Amino acid sequence: MNPRILLLLPLRLLFAQPVAAQATSLTLDEVITQAVNHSATGQQAVTTRETSYWTWRGYQANYRPQLGLQGTVPNFNRVITPVVQPDGTTSFESVRINNSDLGLTLSQNLGLTGGQVYIGSVVQRFDDFNGGLRRYNNQPFTVGITQPLGQFNGLLWARRIEPLRYQESQRQYVEERETIAQRVTELYFDVLLQQVNADVARQNAQATAELLRIGQERFRLGRLSQSDLLQLELNVLDARQAQTQAQLDAQNAAVALQAYTGLPGNEAPALAVPAPAPQHAVLPLLALEQARQNRSTTLAFRRRLLEAERAVAQAHGTTGFQAALTANLGYVNQAENLGNTYLNLQNQQQVRLAFSVPLVDWGRRQSIIKTAELNRDQTQRAVSQEERSFEQTVLTQASQVAALSEQLRLAGRADSLAQRRYDIARATYLLGRISLTDLTLASAAKDGARRGYIFALRAGWVGFYRLRALTLYDFEKQAPIVATR
């Protein structure tokens, strides 16, 4: 017979159920799929990814042409306003006017320089209702540029940082799914272990009750001391208490699993004992290479360094010499009706250079720049340390694959041997050849070996998903794990 089947046989017997119950047992893959697709944590991961997608769309829109319509229609005023007369005096006149405007502008941001070019058209209408006057001022075409000089260019830094942020969010989504799988695995085996404990406690309660019955017969025949009989009665009470506590622990573990995964139903789910996790030879250096290529952490390190550099550039660009150049040219005309404004158009040019230079700031600029530089240096040191820690975590997890596999093999062998030893000890005790203490020790060893196998099985599966989350690489398929919509 296959040795692996022999190792799993005690657990299969332990979890043996009627055929109808086995058909409804949930597997580990089914519970993970449920949690990833329907749990609150899984839905939160989807929402976070969608949010990052629309943030990315907003970033891209900043570098595309923008077409806008602006206007003030109507702009009516009926007031008494001071009017300066030709002789220099002021007269308060009653006016009823409307001064409306409407403009269409096509603009484009310049990411390389941080400026903006635009093409526009503006028409203004003025109505003096008291004087019966109407005038139009029309700029049918104008082209211009607005260019900051010596200032912080946020568009240029966004072009360097935002793509990293978006890629990071996509990888984080995959990592969160793998992290969910790891957490579900932990909760799954918590339930499985408590169910093992509950079933072991039930079997122990039945076995101790049977031993008490046999002990009472032996006591009546004078073949068993009163001390051993009292010990048997105490064992029965302890076994019943352990059975009750194990049932409560199993219910609590099931509630925790259902709450995290969103499994429907009010009753504890029946869980199938999974086969050992896939075992593949994992080279630590290969795992580290895949982690560097696939994990969001690598991108996060680069993004944080760039953000620190951006803060320094912003400190330089917002505290020193500030200037902005504005220039435009086009055509303009005014007339009493709109049609005539398109005749005999006149050239229009405007150039404006505004600047500001701090002369005395008492060290304000220097302190802002120095603070940004110190924060950048601190970020560089923190990233360097976190990068080393991350690499060590990946290497350690990859190097433990073989050890976890060997641990599971030994635990399976121990479970098989402990079960056989208990069967022999129980039969020998019934023949009166060993003491009750020896039987109790054999029973405890059997129960511990079964729990040890579940622990080893749990460690193997948790390590399997943890390595996937750390590297975003499927060592079974030899391919990176990618996000799916």
Using one digit for the tens of pLDDT, what is the confidence trace for 280-323?
Answer: 788 899 999 999 999 999 999 999 999 999 999 999 998 888 99
Identify whether residues 177 and 263 lie together within a single domain: yes
Q: Same structural domain for residues 190 and 53?
A: yes
Residue 484 binned pLDDT confidence (cut-offs 50, 70, 90): low
- How large is the average pLDDT for residues 406-427? 90
Q: Would you state the pLDDT for residue 22?
A: 41
What's residue 266's pLDDT? 66
Share of the chain above pLDDT 70, in %: 94
287/186 same-domain check: yes
Per-residue pLDDT tens for 78-112?
999 888 888 888 888 888 999 999 999 999 999 89
Q: Residue 16 — very low, low, confident or very high, per pLDDT cuts 50/70/90?
A: very low
Identity of residue 433: R
Domain membership of residue 338 (yes or no) is: yes
Whole-number pLDDT of residue 172: 92
Average pLDDT over residues 368-375: 95
* pLDDT for res 64: 94
Whole-angstrom Cα Rg for the chain: 40
Residues 6+ apart with CB under 8 A from 365: 319, 320, 358
Q: Once rounded to an integer, what is the mean pLDDT over residues 407-419? A: 92
Spatial separation of the C-alpha atoms in residues 436 and 229, rounded to whole Å:
10
Contact 307, 62 (CB under 8 A): no
Structure confidence at residue 264 (pLDDT): 78
In a domain, 275, yes or no: yes
Domain that residue 141 falls in? 66-110+115-152+321-357
Q: What is the CATH number of the domain that holds 409?
A: 1.20.1600.10
Distance in angstroms (rounded) separating the CA atoms of residues 161 and 311:
12
pLDDT at 24: 65
Nearest to 69 by CA among 121, 125, 145: 121
List the end-to-end C-alpha distance of the chain, in Å, as a whole number. Answer: 45
3-state secondary structure 203-254: HHHHHHHHHHHHHHHHHHCCCCCHHHHHHHHHHHHHHHHHHHHHHHHHHHHH
Q: Is residue 364 part of a domain?
A: no
Does some domain include residue 173? yes
Q: Provide mean pLDDT across the span 467-478.
A: 89
- Domain check: are 140 and 52 in the same one? no
- For residue 63, pLDDT over 70 is answered with yes
Confidence of residue 115 (pLDDT cuts 50, 70, 90): very high
Q: Is 107 left (phi over 0), alpha (psi -120 to 50) or beta?
A: beta
Average pLDDT of span 443-449: 85
Domain count for the chain, please give it: 2
Mean pLDDT over each residue of the chain, to the nearest integer: 87
CA distance linking residue 201 with residue 245, whole number of Å: 9
According to the model, what pLDDT value does residue 17 have?
37
Nearest residue to 239 (alpha-carbon basis) of 195, 208, 197: 208
Examine the pLDDT at 7 and tell me if it is beyond 70. Answer: no
In a domain, 313, yes or no: no
Distances (CA, A) of 89 to 85, 92, 130, 131, 307: 5, 10, 22, 21, 60
* Whether residues 301 and 192 fall in one domain: yes
Domain assignment present for residue 373? The answer is no
**Measured CA distances, 394 to 19, 271, 284, 342 (Å):** 43, 31, 7, 72
Phi/psi zone of residue 304: left (φ > 0), alpha (ψ -120 to 50 degrees), beta? alpha
Q: Do residues 389 and 252 share a domain?
A: yes
With a cut of 90, say whether residue 217 has pLDDT above it.
no
In a domain, 244, yes or no: yes
Q: How confident is the model at residue 213 (pLDDT cuts 50, 70, 90)?
A: confident
185 falls within a domain: yes
On whether both 411 and 290 belong to a single domain, the answer is yes
Same domain for 239 and 383: yes
Relative to beta strand 322-335, strand 133-149 is antiparallel
Q: Quote the pLDDT of residue 467.
A: 92
pLDDT at 81: 86
- On whether both 276 and 389 belong to a single domain, the answer is yes
Do residues 281 and 193 both lie within one domain? yes
Residues 171, 147 within the same domain: no
Regarding whether 476 and 444 lie in a shared domain, the answer is yes
Please give the average per-residue pLDDT across 174-188, as a whole number: 92
The string of pLDDT tens digits covering residues 243-281 is 888 888 888 888 889 888 888 766 677 888 888 888 878
Mean pLDDT of the region 24-41:
88
**pLDDT value at 34 more than 80:** yes
Task: Name residue 115's beta-bridge partners.
Answer: 110
